[in-house]
C-alpha cells in the first residue's frame, strides 16, 4: 500500500514536470535569467533542467534506463558531476561548438536505446549520461552570466537537486512497474516513450540546424 502511494506521487511529480517543460518550451522561456541573489540562483537552478523539453526528456530517459540497475545513485551522481564540469567549462570560457545540436543528438541516442528495450551496459550508460550532463551544464550556464559566486553556487546546487530527483524518481517508477508487469506491456510502453523522445530529439535537431 505504501509503495503504491509512493509510486503515485512519483508519477504525479514526473507528470507535473513534463507539463511544465512542455509549456515552457512552447512559450519560449528565455535562457537568460535575472539572478541577483542566492535565492534566485537556487530557484532558477531547480527550474532550468526541466524548462527545455529536450533536456528534460534526456534526464527522464537516463532514469528509465537506470531501472533495475543497482548503481542507480552512481548514474545520477555521474549526471550531476558532469553537469558541474560543463558549467565550469563554460565559466572558464572554453568553447564547445554546436552544443544544442549535440544535446538533440544525445536525446535521439537515448530514445533509440529505449526503443530496443535492452538494458545497456553500465559503462555505456555512464558515458552517455556524462556526455548529456556535460552538454546540459555548458548550455544552461548562460543563466549565470554576470552572477556573483554564491548565487552561481546555489544555481548549481539547485540544478543538481532537480536532476537527482528526476533520475531517481523515474528509475523508481520504471523498476516498480516492470517488477509488477507479467504480460510484457511495460516494455512496449517503454518503447513508445523511446519513440517519443527520439522524435523530440529529431524535431529539436532540425530546429537548431536551421538557425
pLDDT digits (tens, 9 = 90+) for 96-118: 888 888 999 999 999 998 888 67
**Residues in contact with 155: Cβ distance below 8 Å, sequence separation at least 6, in sequence order:** 35, 41, 42, 44, 45, 48, 143, 144, 147
Going by C-alpha positions, the residue among 102, 106, 7 that lies closest to residue 60 is 106
Cα–Cα distance, 95 to 110 (Å, whole number): 25
**Residues in contact with 117: Cβ distance below 8 Å, sequence separation at least 6, in sequence order:** 187, 190, 191, 194
* Buried residues in 85-100 as b, exposed as e (16+ CB within 10 A): ebbebbeeeeeeeebb
| Alpha helices (H) in the chain, listed in sequence order | 2-27, 38-51, 53-65, 72-91, 99-116, 122-140, 149-180, 185-209
Residue 194 has pLDDT above 60, yes or no: yes
Cα–Cα distance, 149 to 85 (Å, whole number): 16
| pLDDT attached to residue 181 | 63
User: For residue 156, what is the DSSP state?
Assistant: H
- Cβ contact 56:21 at 8 Å: yes
**Residues in contact with 32: Cβ distance below 8 Å, sequence separation at least 6, in sequence order:** 142, 143, 145
Percent of the chain surpassing pLDDT 90? 27
Residue 1 has pLDDT above 60, yes or no: no
- Cβ contact 143:31 at 8 Å: yes
| pLDDT attached to residue 162 | 92
User: For residue 146, what is the DSSP state?
Assistant: T
Going by C-alpha positions, the residue among 87, 90, 6 that lies closest to residue 49 is 87
pLDDT digits 0-9 by tens, 19-67 = 888 787 776 666 567 788 999 889 888 988 888 888 899 999 999 888 8
Instruction: Dump the DSSP string for 104-132.
Output: HHHHHHHHHHHHHT-PPPHHHHHHHHHHH
The pTM score is: 0.87
Residue 202 has pLDDT above 60, yes or no: yes
Residue 211 has pLDDT above 70, yes or no: no
pLDDT digits 0-9 by tens, 138-151 = 988 887 887 888 98
| pLDDT attached to residue 61 | 92
| pLDDT attached to residue 31 | 58
Q: Which three cell numbers stand for residue 45?
A: 537552478
Amino acid at each position: 500500500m505504501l509503495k503504491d502511494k509512493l509510486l503515485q506521487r512519483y508519477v504525479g511529480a514526473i507528470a507535473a514536470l513534463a507539463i511544465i517543460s512542455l509549456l515552457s518550451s512552447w512559450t519560449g522561456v528565455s535562457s537568460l535569467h535575472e539572478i541577483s541573489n542566492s535565492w534566485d540562483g537556487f530557484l532558477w537552478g531547480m527550474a532550468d533542467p526541466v524548462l527545455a523539453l529536450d533536456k528534460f526528456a534526456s534526464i527522464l530517459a537516463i532514469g528509465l534506463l537506470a531501472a533495475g540497475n543497482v548503481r542507480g545513485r552512481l548514474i545520477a551522481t555521474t549526471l550531476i558531476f558532469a553537469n558541474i564540469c560543463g558549467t565550469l567549462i563554460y565559466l572558464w570560457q572554453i568553447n564547445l561548438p554546436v552544443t544544442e545540436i549535440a544535446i538533440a543528438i544525445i536525446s535521439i541516442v537515448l530514445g533509440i536505446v529505449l526503443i530496443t528495450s535492452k538494458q545497456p551496459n553500465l559503462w555505456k550508460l555512464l558515458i552517455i549520461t556524462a556526455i548529456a550532463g556535460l552538454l546540459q551544464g555548458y548550455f544552461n550556464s548562460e543563466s549565470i552570466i554576470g552572477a556573483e559566486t554564491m548565487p552561481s553556487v546555489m544555481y548549481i546546487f539547485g540544478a543538481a537537486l532537480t536532476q537527482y530527483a528526476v533520475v531517481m524518481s523515474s528509475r523508481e517508477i520504471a523498476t516498480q512497474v516492470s517488477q509488477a508487469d507479467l504480460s510484457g506491456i511495460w516494455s512496449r510502453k517503454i518503447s513508445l516513450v523511446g519513440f517519443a523522445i527520439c522524435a523530440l530529439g529529431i524535431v529539436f535537431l532540425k530546429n537548431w540546424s536551421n538557425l
